[in-house]
């Protein structure tokens, strides 16, 4: 049995009107159609409900796009991501309904009426069964999704699932956008999942390809990058037009995996497969020692990308958004004195944020990459 995984997928932005067309080449189509199951990372509500959230990046895909996902054999839809609630509760319900109408399995959203955490999706036969979990960073606090806030619940789910299946795959939505490598926080979380009993972690959200890491007989894929996803915001950043398709072959004796690099041709909004020798050089096994030598270099250029993100937010204000000046003033005027004190304290904590300090300190020692056996990655990371 095998399961394929895609990168971030959404028929929105430049793909908004492409849902009735075939947007992938034959190699990609064959790679996906030859898989028993395809887990598509559906990073968009599929709905006609209007957008409700005041966010800088607010996206949705029309209901007709479900047919395109099915045509690419995406029979498991991973829905637990930061865009899940872009169109409110109605948008979430519409998306789950679209999956079920398309005879696809929704992954990562539980019973909304009963406020139950999502059940794992179990696939395979008695000889080889695989359990799939979907987890996200703490983007929201819905009782019907699993986030890292629910780590104790997650641990229990994994322990119970371990009794039923041969393998557990955790699909995790987290990371710093446009970073060529995971931060130490993400690496720590994913390795903790392996210690809990997960065999494979497949992660998304950075929108660019990152490295992978073999740990014993287990493995972490830190980011598969984009698949069908192209919005104006992302075009400011390098490598957002490249992604990886992953296929994991499961057997009772163990698992193997293969991959297919893909690239977006933005001149016609079409996804093309690449030869294996065109694989992004960052997509390699980087072990713990080398990770800590190389990450300071990645942090140096991540700081530059985060300045681009801040510039985009300033150029695209959303009225009343907590990230805009007007929104901050409006909310601040409604605070009590006690709340204002808390707000000032929060600002001080943000200024002395451990993450920002970590990036700054890492950038000061970015030359450590020269001690790594992966020092050939310098130019690739610099161009990010």
Q: Calculate mean pLDDT across residues 16-24.
A: 93
Domain count along the chain: 2
Q: What is the pLDDT of residue 125?
A: 87
333 pLDDT tier (thresholds 50, 70, 90): low
pTM over 0.85: yes
Q: Calculate mean pLDDT across residues 305-327.
A: 68
Residues 6+ away with beta carbon under 8 Å from 229: 7, 8, 9, 10, 12, 13, 15, 43, 207
Same domain, 159 and 248: yes
320 pLDDT tier (thresholds 50, 70, 90): very low
Residue 243 pairs in a beta bridge with 225, 262
Q: What is the pLDDT of residue 73?
A: 97
* Residue 117 structure tokens: 């955490």
Least Cα distance to 295 among 190, 192, 180 occurs for: 180
CATH number assigned to the domain comprising residue 123: 3.60.21
Q: Inform me whether the pLDDT recorded for 25 exceeds 70.
A: yes
322 pLDDT tier (thresholds 50, 70, 90): very low
Of 285, 300, 316, the one marking the end of a domain is: 285
The number of angstroms, rounded, from the C-alpha of 109 to the middle of its chain's C-alpha atoms is 16
The average confidence (pLDDT) of the chain is 89
| Residue located via tokens 């800590």 | 292
Least confident of 83-92, 118-127, 165-174, 354-363: 354-363
Q: Inform me whether the pLDDT recorded for 353 exceeds 80.
A: no
Q: Calculate mean pLDDT across residues 37-46.
A: 97
Of 234, 266, 285, the one marking the end of a domain is: 285
Same domain, 181 and 134: yes
Least confident of 202-206, 286-290, 353-357: 353-357
Same domain, 280 and 320: no
- To 10 degrees, what angle do helices 288-315 and 354-364 make? 120
Angle at CA of residue 40, ends 276 and 183, nearest 5°: 70
Of the chain, the percentage scoring pLDDT greater than 90 comes to: 71
Residue 213 pairs in a beta bridge with 220
Q: Inform me whether the pLDDT recorded for 21 exceeds 50.
A: yes
Q: What is the pLDDT of residues 184-234, one digit of tens each?
A: 999 999 999 999 999 999 999 999 999 999 999 999 999 999 999 999 999
Same domain, 243 and 317: no
Highest mean pLDDT among 135-139, 220-224, 293-297: 220-224
Q: What is the pLDDT of residues 2-19, one digit of tens each?
A: 999 999 999 999 999 999
Q: What is the pLDDT of residue 342?
A: 59
Q: Inform me whether the pLDDT recorded for 28 exceeds 80.
A: yes
Q: CA 365 → CA 286, 306, 359, 368, 369, distances in Å? A: 19, 19, 10, 6, 9
Q: Inform me whether the pLDDT recorded for 347 exceeds 60.
A: no
Report the C-alpha gap between 234 and 43 in whole angstroms: 14
DSSP calls for 10-57? -S-GGGTT-TTS--B-HHHHHHHHTSSEEEEEE-S-BSSSPP-S--SS
The number of angstroms, rounded, from the C-alpha of 183 to the middle of its chain's C-alpha atoms is 14
Of 234, 264, 285, the one marking the end of a domain is: 285
Q: Inform me whether the pLDDT recorded for 323 exceeds 60.
A: no
Report the C-alpha gap between 336 and 19 in whole angstroms: 49
Q: What is the pLDDT of residue 344?
A: 64
The number of angstroms, rounded, from the C-alpha of 334 to the middle of its chain's C-alpha atoms is 35
Q: Inform me whether the pLDDT recorded for 351 exceeds 60.
A: no
Q: What is the pLDDT of residue 114?
A: 74
Same domain, 314 and 230: no
231 and 13 Cβ atoms separated by less than 8 Å: yes
Same domain, 242 and 370: no
Same domain, 300 and 194: no
Same domain, 252 and 298: no
Same domain, 172 and 55: yes
**Structural domain of residue 340, as residue ranges?**
290-382
Same domain, 109 and 224: yes
Same domain, 171 and 319: no
């Amino acid at each position: 049995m095998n399961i394929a995984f895609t990168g971030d997928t959404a028929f929105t932005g430049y793909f908004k009107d492409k849902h009735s067309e075939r947007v992938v080449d034959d190699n990609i189509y064959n790679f996906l159609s030859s898989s028993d199951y395809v887990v598509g990372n559906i990073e968009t509500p599929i709905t006609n409900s209007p957008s409700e959230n005041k966010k800088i990046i607010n996206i949705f895909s029309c209901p007709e796009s479900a047919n395109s996902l099915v045509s690419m054999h995406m029979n498991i839809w991973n829905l637990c991501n930061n865009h899940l609630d872009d169109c409110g509760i109605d948008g979430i319900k519409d998306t789950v309904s679209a999956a079920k109408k398309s005879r696809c399995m929704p992954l990562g959203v539980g019973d909304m009426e009963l406020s139950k955490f999502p059940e794992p999706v179990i696939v395979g036969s008695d000889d080889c069964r695989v359990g799939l979990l979907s987890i996200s960073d703490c983007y929201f606090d819905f009782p019907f999704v699993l986030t890292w806030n629910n780590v104790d619940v997650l641990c229990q789910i994994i322990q119970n699932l371990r009794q039923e299946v041969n393998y557990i795959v955790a699909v995790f939505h987290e990371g710093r956008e446009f970073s060529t490598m995971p931060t130490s926080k993400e690496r720590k979380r994913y390795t903790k999942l392996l210690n809990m009993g997960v065999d494979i972690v497949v992660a998304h959200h950075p929108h660019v390809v990152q490295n992978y890491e073999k740990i014993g007989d287990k493995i972490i894929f830190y980011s598969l990058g984009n698949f069908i996803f192209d919005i104006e915001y992302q075009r400011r950043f390098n490598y957002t037009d490249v992604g990886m398709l992953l296929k994991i072959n499961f057997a009772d004796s163990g698992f193997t995996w293969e991959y297919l690099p893909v690239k977006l041709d933005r001149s016609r909004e079409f996804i093309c497969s690449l030869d294996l020798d065109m694989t992004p050089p960052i997509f390699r096994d980087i072990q713990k020692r080398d990770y800590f030598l190389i990450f300071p270099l990645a942090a140096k250029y991540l700081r530059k990308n985060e300045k681009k993100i801040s510039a985009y937010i300033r150029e695209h204000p959303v009225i009343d958004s907590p990230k805009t000046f007007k929104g901050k003033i409006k909310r601040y005027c409604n605070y009590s004195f006690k709340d204002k004190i808390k707000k000032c304290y929060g600002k001080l904590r943000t200024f002395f944020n451990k993450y920002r300090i970590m990036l700054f300190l890492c950038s000061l020692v970015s030359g450590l990459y020269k001690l790594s056996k992966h020092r050939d990655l310098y130019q690739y990371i610099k161009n990010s």
